[in-house]
Amino acid sequence: MLVAANRLLTHFAVWGSHHGNPLPPLQRVLLHIACQKGKRIWRSTGKRNRLEAEKFLRNVALEGQHKAEKESRGITFTEFVARWRTYAETNFAPSTIRLYNEAIRNLLRIVGDRDLRAYTALDIEKFKANRLVEVSPTKTNIDFSDIKAMMNVAVKWNMLDKNPCAG
């Protein structure tokens, strides 16, 4: 049985044989093999017959879908910034944080606050074009690189699949 749920493919294997001789049914345990990101993960279903194991896996798949739906809603840019600030205070000088905060304010003013995953390369281009009208190209590039660095942190933290600033 193959179940596709959130990039997770599973199938059953019966574990339990001794020197080629199958074990009695009460000693068998049905396993499912999950292939995720190129790695096989063997997990016991804890069930001894196939129907119970399939029911167990359907429940696991549904839980995975609910989790994926919840994660896809994600967090807003402002919520991400709140988490990022703790990281920034640990890793950057106060003057650098001030530059980041200015870039954040301008991105929110120009593009608006939305789900972090909803930002596109087009939004970033709009941000850069508006900033070029307001400030010098050098300052625009500084703001852009600050936003790009923040989005890289979001990718690193698995909040984004891809950085919308990456060209």
Q: What is the mean pLDDT of the chain?
A: 77
Domain that holds residue 62: 3-73
- Check pLDDT > 70 for residue 117: yes
- Check pLDDT > 80 for residue 29: no
Residue 11 and residue 66 in one domain? yes
Evaluate whether residue 69 is within a structural domain.
yes
Average confidence (pLDDT) over 79-93:
92
Provide the domain count of the chain: 2
Evaluate whether residue 60 is within a structural domain.
yes
Task: Show which of 55, 73, 91 is a domain's final residue.
Answer: 73
Evaluate whether residue 51 is within a structural domain.
yes
Band of pLDDT at residue 39, cut at 50, 70 and 90? low
Question: What CATH number has the domain bearing residue 121?
Answer: 1.10.150
Band of pLDDT at residue 51, cut at 50, 70 and 90? confident
Q: Between the CA of residue 40 and those of 6, 34, 104, 158, what are the distances in Å?
A: 15, 6, 41, 21
Band of pLDDT at residue 9, cut at 50, 70 and 90? very low
Residue 57 and residue 81 in one domain? no
Residue 82 and residue 148 in one domain? yes
167/165 Cα distance (integer angstroms): 6
**What's the pLDDT score for residue 65?**
54
Residue 98 and residue 149 in one domain? yes
Secondary structure (DSSP) of 67-132: HHHHHHH--BHHHHHHHHHHHHHHHS-HHHHHHHHHHHHHHHHHT---BGGG--HHHHHHHHHHHH
Q: Facing residues of 72 across strands?
A: none
**What's the pLDDT score for residue 64?**
60
Residue 7 and residue 47 in one domain? yes
Task: Show which of 73, 98, 133 is a domain's final residue.
Answer: 73
